Structures are given as structure tokens and as C-alpha cells.
Amino acid sequence: MKTRNLFNTILALLVLFLGIALIALSAQRRQPARVFPATVNRDCAPWDGSAFTLSLRYDAVTTITVSIWKSPSFLLPVTFSFPDETMRLGTAYSVKEVDPLEMLTGRVTFQRVEQGIPIEGRFSFTSAGGEAYDGKFVAEWGSQQAYCG
């Protein structure tokens, strides 16, 4: 009987230890998303309609650019997925200093888009080469003017 109690105690301690280890590892993986400074400017869609473009410096050599071919006036959160099969919503790509631009797959979410008010959002993209780009952004409006039509 004592052997059975010892076995149960060791088994319970092992399960407890593994549970604590799993909780600790998952807490380490859930680091808060990095917040990137960004710039947003008015732009023109390919058909000369209203649009806006978000640019953020992801690292020392990579810039991510997201063009949305809609008027910059969303009062509620909105998410755009890329690539855009309809070719009517926009594009997302990365540019490295030494490489040509690379189209991205993923999505961007804007909490609210209104001219003159900083834009907050989140992005999650993957390049064709498998590089992952994730984070949040706060974009200030730039002074670039766009004249469409």
C-alpha cells in the first residue's frame, strides 16, 4: 500500500510540475505586440478614386506599405485581407533596401480612419519567402497631397 501512495504522490507532483512549466512557457510566448510608428497619406486608387497609403519602417532595412483604395473615412474597425483577388481594395508589400518589392499575404486592421486623427491598428503579414511581419501601429497623417483624376 505504501508503494502505491508513493507512486501516486510522485505522479501528482510530476503532473503539477509539467502544468506549471506549460503555463510559464505560454506566458513567455504571449509578449505584447510591438508598436511601430507609421505615416499615412492621401493617395489615388489606380482608377483615380480616393485612397490612402500607410507606410511603416519594420526594421533597419524593411518598409511595409499598405495602400487602401477607398476613402479614408471609417468610423468603426475595419479589416482588409491581402492579396485582394478583386483588385479593388488595395495592395500590401514590403521593400528592403537591397531587394525589389515583395507582395505580402495577410491582413491589416484599422480601429478608425479619419482625416487628421492618428490611426491605430494591427497587421499580420507573411512574405512569399516566409518572413512574418506582425505588430501594431500608430500612424500620423503626412503632408503629402494627392490630386486624383
23 with 61, same domain: the answer is no
Q: For residue 128, what is the DSSP state?
A: T
Residue 131 lies in a domain: yes
Domain of residue 90 covers 35-141
Mean pLDDT, contiguous 10-residue spans, the chain (149 residues): 75 71 60 85 89 93 94 92 87 86 94 92 93 94 79
Are residues 42 and 61 located together in one domain of the fold? yes
> Which residues, at least 6 apart from 86, have a Cβ–Cβ distance to it below 8 Å?
none
Examine the domain organization and report whether 47 and 116 are in the same domain.
yes
| Total count of domains within the chain | 2
CB 93 within 8 A of CB 104: yes
* 70 and 15 within one domain: no
Task: Please tell me whether residues 114 and 131 are part of one structural domain.
Answer: yes
